[in-house]
């Protein structure tokens, strides 16, 4: 029957028209969920293609046959894991199969492009001028730091780890502001939807991927930062730096407002992001948004081979919702002079108030701002929490929102502090500079 009307003719009709074709096009062009498309385009009628794709993938996975059906696998990952739709045209160029990733002990060692570990290139990019901007503005953005081949090799190893199911859901410990029934502080663990990660301190995984393993042990980044910023006293032991791989599956996955170093005993001084998103385009989302204190936000696109360096202890930031698969390698570098006692105490003197604008400039570059940021950026915290958790039905969402509200209530009960925060909010309101977007 394949060559009759119920076979190839029906296949052609489905490809050029019909509800699956219409909704598939809208899914790619509008970044809308399948559920929303069913409501808006089909008046609530359910799609058959998406359901079939999910069921087929489940069967293939159960029978360890994913590598035998790359087309079905690609369709599923585009539909449900945020993979770039363009990957469906690139199946023939795969250098390793899903079965390789699932069964091989190490990455096969075959990369798409030739490359070398060009640490000298990275060090040339991190100039004295770049380090001065990092120290003064709190951030710097550098492009083409690793080179197309080397950055591509790091991305391929991350994709191989994902294919082997080594990425695990991001789990974050959050200290609740409200006390438990015993009067003691509470810590809550929650999972960020659609965010997955690998900690390269796990040697059993790190040794499977040679380029990532080599980067873990390298000190070239530390050397060049120390040469230009010796006052940071960055530490060179592998125990004093953290490398994590992160995969955002799309579907709106993001991070709420936070500091990478929220306070003691954390020792992080510098955060380094290496973005590995080949083919990123506007609309894919997943930008990091830096929030220099009392200034306009700086939004940075996560394009391929882009490095973003910023201050871990005084740069508030968030990750905007991602609508496509997104990879980033994060390096946190510890410093010896981080979280001194004066960094965790807010003290206002008469001279501070007399030199108001000088005080604001000092606060912009001080970790003390962490004590004030939830009040000054009240709306941004709330919005980003909701975007991250996506629904109050998500485990942890209600606890996070309640903790944020309790924090604000505690601030407002302290009248002098509340008045001071309102004054800082007024300063923000009077800033009429244009927000920065680095595409």
- Mean pLDDT score of the chain: 89
Nearest to 196 by CA among 138, 255, 139: 255
Same domain, 192 and 137: yes
Q: Does one domain contain both 144 and 220?
A: yes
Give the confidence band of 293 by pLDDT, cuts at 50, 70, 90: very high
Q: Determine which of 46-55, 156-165, 198-207, 277-286 has the lowest per-residue pLDDT on average.
A: 46-55
Mean pLDDT over 206-215 rounds to 96
Q: Strand pairing of 186-199 and 326-334?
A: unpaired
User: Are the beta carbons of 269 and 334 closer than 8 angstroms?
Assistant: yes
**Confidence (pLDDT) at 372:** 96
Residues 18, 279, 211: CA angle, nearest 5 degrees: 130
Question: Do 80 and 128 share a domain, yes or no?
Answer: no
Q: From 72, 89, 106, give the residue that closes a domain.
A: 89
Cβ pair 175, 187 in contact under 8 A:
yes
162 and 69 housed in the same domain: no
Domain assignment of residue 377, yes or no: yes
**412 and 360 share one domain:** yes
Of 78, 2, 38, 24, nearest to 11 by C-alpha is: 2
User: Is 234's pLDDT higher than 80?
Assistant: yes
Residue 348 lies in a domain: yes
First to last CA, the chain: 52
Query: Checking DSSP bridges between strand 298-300 and strand 436-438, what pairing results, if any?
Result: parallel
Residue 84 has pLDDT above 90, yes or no: no
Cβ(272)–Cβ(260) under 8 Å? no
Does residue 102 sit within a domain?
A: no
CATH number at residue 45: 1.10.1040.10
- Average pLDDT (300-328) is 97
The yes-or-no verdict on residue 76 having pLDDT over 80 is yes
Question: Does 82 share its domain with 126?
Answer: no
Residue 225 belongs to a domain: yes
Residue 270 lies in a domain: yes
Assign residue 255 a region: left if phi > 0, alpha if psi is -120 to 50, beta otherwise?
beta
Range(s) of the domain holding residue 30 = 5-89
Residue 179: pLDDT band with limits 50, 70, 90: low
Please check whether residues 51 and 160 belong to one and the same domain: no
Q: Judge whether residue 274 has pLDDT over 90.
A: yes
Residues 128 and 61 in one domain: no
What distance separates the 2 farthest-apart alpha carbons in the chain? 89
Instruction: At 185, give phi and psi (nearest 5°).
Output: -65, 150
**By percentage, how much of the chain surpasses pLDDT 90?**
62
Does residue 167 contact residue 173 with C-beta atoms inside 8 Å?
A: no
Does the structure show a pLDDT above 90 at 272? yes
**Hunting for tokens 């999910």 — which residue is that?**
54
Q: What is the mean pLDDT of residues 401-418?
A: 92
The pLDDT of 250-275, averaged and rounded, is: 96
Q: Which candidate, 47, 52, 101, places its Cα nearest to that of 72?
A: 52
Question: Which of residues 37, 70, 89 is at a domain's end?
Answer: 89
Same domain, 41 and 174: no
pLDDT greater than 50 at residue 78: yes
Q: Which of 69-78, 263-272, 372-381, 399-408 is the least confident region?
A: 69-78
Judgement on whether residues 38 and 129 belong to the same structural domain of the protein? no
CA distances from 121 to 224, 233, 328 (A): 11, 23, 20
pLDDT > 60? residue 275:
yes
Within a domain: 106: no
Indicate whether 52 belongs to any domain: yes
Q: In whole angstroms, what is the distance from residue 147 CA to residue 276 CA?
A: 11
| pLDDT number for residue 316 | 98
HSE-up of residue 254 (Cα within 13 Å, Cβ side): 27
52/259: higher pLDDT: 259
Q: How confident is the model at residue 71 (pLDDT cuts 50, 70, 90)?
A: confident
Is residue 313 located within the same domain as residue 432? Answer: yes
Q: Answer yes or no: are the C-beta atoms of 334 and 328 closer than 8 Å.
A: no
Q: Total domain count for the chain?
A: 2
- Of all residues in the chain, what percent carry a pLDDT higher than 70? 90
Q: What is the pLDDT of residues 329-383, one digit of tens each?
A: 999 999 999 999 989 888 888 888 889 999 999 999 999 999 999 999 999 999 9
Indicate which CATH number applies to the domain containing 241.
2.60.120.620
**282 occurs within a structural domain:** yes
When pLDDT is cut at 50, 70 and 90, the band that residue 237 belongs to is: very high
Q: What is the predicted pLDDT for the residue at 180?
A: 61
Q: Poorest-confidence range of 82-86, 197-201, 272-276?
A: 82-86
pLDDT recorded at residue 337: 92
- 162 pLDDT more than 90: yes
Angle formed by the axes of helices 128-137 and 220-228, nearest 10°: 70
Same domain, 125 and 84: no
The 10s digit of each residue's pLDDT in 53-68 is 888 888 886 665 666 6
Q: Which of 38, 73, 89 finishes a domain? A: 89
Q: What is the dihedral of CA 275, 279, 284, 286, to 10 degrees?
A: 0
Provide the whole-model pTM.
0.77
Q: pLDDT of 30-58, one tens digit each? A: 878 888 888 888 888 888 888 888 888 88
């Amino acid at each position: 029957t394949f060559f009759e009307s119920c076979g190839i003719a029906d296949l052609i009709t489905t490809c050029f028209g019909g509800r699956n074709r219409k909704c598939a096009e809208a899914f790619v062009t509008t970044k809308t969920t399948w559920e929303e498309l069913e409501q808006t385009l089909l008046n609530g009628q359910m799609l058959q293609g998406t359901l079939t794709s999910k069921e087929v993938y489940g069967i293939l996975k159960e029978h360890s046959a994913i590598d035998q059906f790359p087309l079905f696998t690609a369709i599923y990952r585009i539909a449900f894991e945020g993979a770039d739709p363009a990957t469906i045209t690139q199946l023939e160029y795969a250098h390793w199969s899903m079965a390789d990733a699932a069964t091989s002990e190490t990455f096969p060692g075959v990369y798409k492009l030739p490359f070398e570990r060009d640490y000298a290139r990275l060090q040339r990019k991190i100039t004295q001028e770049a380090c001065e901007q990092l120290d003064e503005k709190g951030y710097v953005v550098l492009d083409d730091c690793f080179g197309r081949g080397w950055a591509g090799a790091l991305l391929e190893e991350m994709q191989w780890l994902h294919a082997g199911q080594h990425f695990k859901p991001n789990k974050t410990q959050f200290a609740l502001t409200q006390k438990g029934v015993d009067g003691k502080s509470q810590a809550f663990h929650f999972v960020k939807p659609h965010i997955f990660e690998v900690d390269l301190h796990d040697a059993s995984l790190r040794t499977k991927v040679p380029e990532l393993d080599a980067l873990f042990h390298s000190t070239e980044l530390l050397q060049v930062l120390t040469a230009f910023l010796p006052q940071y006293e960055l530490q060179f032991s592998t125990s004093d730096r953290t490398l994590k791989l992160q995969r955002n599956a799309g579907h709106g996955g993001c991070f709420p407002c936070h500091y990478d170093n929220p306070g003691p005993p954390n020792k992080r001084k510098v955060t380094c992001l290496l973005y590995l998103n080949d083919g990123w385009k506007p609309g894919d989302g997943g930008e990091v948004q830096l929030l220099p204190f009392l200034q306009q936000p700086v939004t940075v696109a996560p394009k391929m081979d882009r490095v973003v360096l910023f201050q871990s202890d005084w740069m508030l930031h968030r990750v905007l919702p991602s609508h496509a698969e997104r990879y980033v390698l994060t390096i946190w570098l510890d410093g010896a002079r981080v979280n001194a006692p004066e960094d965790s105490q807010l003290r206002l003197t008469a001279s501070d108030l007399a030199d108001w604008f000088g005080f604001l400039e000092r606060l912009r570059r001080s970790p003390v701002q962490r004590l004030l940021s939830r009040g000054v950026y009240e709306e941004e915290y709330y919005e980003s929490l909701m975007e991250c958790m996506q629904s109050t039905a998500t485990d942890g969402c209600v606890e996070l929102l309640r903790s944020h509200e309790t924090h604000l209530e505690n601030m407002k009960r302290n009248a002098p502090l509340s008045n001071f925060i309102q004054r800082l909010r007024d300063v923000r309101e009077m800033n009429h500079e244009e927000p920065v977007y680095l595409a």
